[in-house]
Structure 1
């Protein structure tokens, strides 16, 4: 599942610019469409430099490619994360914003373990977690949804999720991932407000409308699941006792219930800060 080495990374960049960059702004959020560059793992391992990717984006912009500006902005976001962590090393493991130290996130827990195993009962979240376990990658839209579900619907500390991503991702990037987790959780720089809680069902309907992404990684309920879905069960530890022909799990928490619980905690935090 990995594209390894400098030559392969440069070829990947060239293919992206030639074949997918023009549709990148419109299709980048759809995990089944393969519209992203895929360069995150190569950047993380130093197989290609941000400046090389930046130069390719600039050339494409000068040539009038409509996707170049968005691609450049995403590269800049990655470098912004490293800029912040260089000047503020606490980003990697402490809440960036003040006032979050007493927030009632749970530590590691049984529901978080279900999240790690891709067994939450929320198909979009579970597809994302299984994609990561099998391939070492996870689409960015899916990352936001999976992270929001853990930190908000399951009220679990973002550092629990951060640690699992560090174990599983081939494109693990300490700065970008820490900023991403804190952005979703609400405690980071330029963070999404805590009350922005991704609804996995609504996200799936919008960004996986034909279910292609979910079918690619969820075997349960399919008479003939694809290899990409079956691979997960070959990869996980036997101690997890997971089978592709088992029933799909019931949701850990109702989406409305989980959202309401998270919002109550957020409101209590705000009241405590105002006192």
Structure 2
């Protein structure tokens, strides 16, 4: 290909360190043109994920400027955009990091075939995961369906060292034109909530690396013991950075492994959680309907309720169950939700309110800045009981019992629920600045009564579940 430029197609890999596609492009010695395409997979993102992706794009554009490069922005179908850029720049190759959700796989397969047919070198690289999903197999040669044996299969595998950061990209003799990120209005669907969530998001590779360092030095020792207490800063908070690739799973793995070797007792459990993310992608790769259909065929006829008034109260953080409502309000304020709180909120919707898990899945898909299609799908089906490695159907989280165990002082609930408090916490008030005006909510409102008693909701769920067994 001589000295023709390489188009580096960025999607969810907004970092300079441990970036195999970028490193490979640099190693050729050829000019590199970084590109981000606002294509159909971006267009269909939920409000919060699209806003967060836009924030990552904008931040990384500044990072590239800082090393003397640029980020070219284009909007349209990926193949059309790439063909146009090839014509304009004379590029002879397109490099990108692989993604594994069904829509991305279909797009990338078609793009690679079309480019190769046109004589363009199209090459994809690993980088979003520790292990490519097809490389982890059972003894029989098939995919894993249960987490524990998956963990045992990978925990002793070699994870290659992270690649060093790229400090310079050779520039082309002429840059193609770029569109304007602000004109795309990637945060438009967030409306007023964007300004609130922006105060809590930590955008960019430097912020992600700082998060990781603070976690390893100050929290990894007690991670296993304290990670379920939502009022405590016991977790890494890296999920929003991992989902847009502002830090690689490999960098996180090696930091956790070093902490484990140095005696941090909680580090192994942290590594297990990172591998839980891997397991979710392993499943979505092998079972691409995971986000649409019940994993277990016997659940196909379960009488889930469709969307309903109870589900709307759940969405608004107005169920009358403080732990559930605090979880939902945390999501509107910060764009994320503590993992223990996610399980409780999801269990309440699917079991106490007998609402289809896909109703909840779609709402999280719209509201989480750390939305991950694989983890979201597996998590909802796990809680509902219909999925792989699922919680037993009779496991119904009791929000009161969970609060007594994991939020005994009420700190988490008080942090996000202002109703009835004489001096509400700032985050509790931020909820009313973030939620849709059409909901008509205000801090001086009366906190609602329960939608259903916890005991009655549990019995109703168990009755429905038991009937399915017959």
For Structure 1 versus Structure 2, the TM-score category normalised by the shorter chain is over 0.9
Residue 235 of structure 1: how far off its partner (Å): 1.3
Whether 2:255 is the aligned partner of 1:56: answer yes
- Find the partner of 1:15 among 210, 214, 227: 214
Once residues 238 and 46 of structure 1 are traced to their aligned partners in structure 2, the CA distance between those partners, rounded to angstroms, is 33
- Find the partner of 2:264 among 59, 65, 80: 65
TM-score, length of structure 1 as denominator length: 0.98
Structure 1: gaps spanning 5 or more residues: none
Structure 2: gaps spanning 5 or more residues: 1-199
Once residues 392 and 373 of structure 2 are traced to their aligned partners in structure 1, the CA distance between those partners, rounded to angstroms, is 22
Once residues 116 and 129 of structure 1 are traced to their aligned partners in structure 2, the CA distance between those partners, rounded to angstroms, is 7
Instruction: Encode CA deviations 1:101-147: one digit per residue, 9 max, x unaligned.
Output: 11011111111000000000000000000000111010000000000
- Find the partner of 2:466 among 239, 250, 267: 267
Whether 2:327 is the aligned partner of 1:142: answer no
Instruction: Encode CA deviations 1:195-241: one digit per residue, 9 max, x unaligned.
Output: 10000000001000000000000001110101110011111222111
Once residues 267 and 324 of structure 2 are traced to their aligned partners in structure 1, the CA distance between those partners, rounded to angstroms, is 30
Instruction: Encode CA deviations 1:33-89: one digit per residue, 9 max, x unaligned.
Output: 110000000011111111110111111111111111100100011100001100110
- Find the partner of 1:39 among 217, 238, 242: 238
Whether 2:203 is the aligned partner of 1:203: answer no
Indicate the residue corresponding to 2:420 in structure 1: 221
Q: Give the length in aligned residue pairs.
A: 271
Whether 2:323 is the aligned partner of 1:128: answer no
Structure with the bigger percentage of strand: 2
Structure with the bigger percentage of helix: 1
Indicate the residue corresponding to 1:189 in structure 2: 388
Indicate the residue corresponding to 1:241 in structure 2: 440
Indicate the residue corresponding to 2:156 in structure 1: none
TM-score, length of structure 2 as denominator length: 0.57
Residue 96 of structure 1: how far off its partner (Å): 0.6
Rg larger in structure: 2
Q: Which runs of 4+ in 1 moved over 3 A?
A: none
Indicate the residue corresponding to 2:371 in structure 1: 172
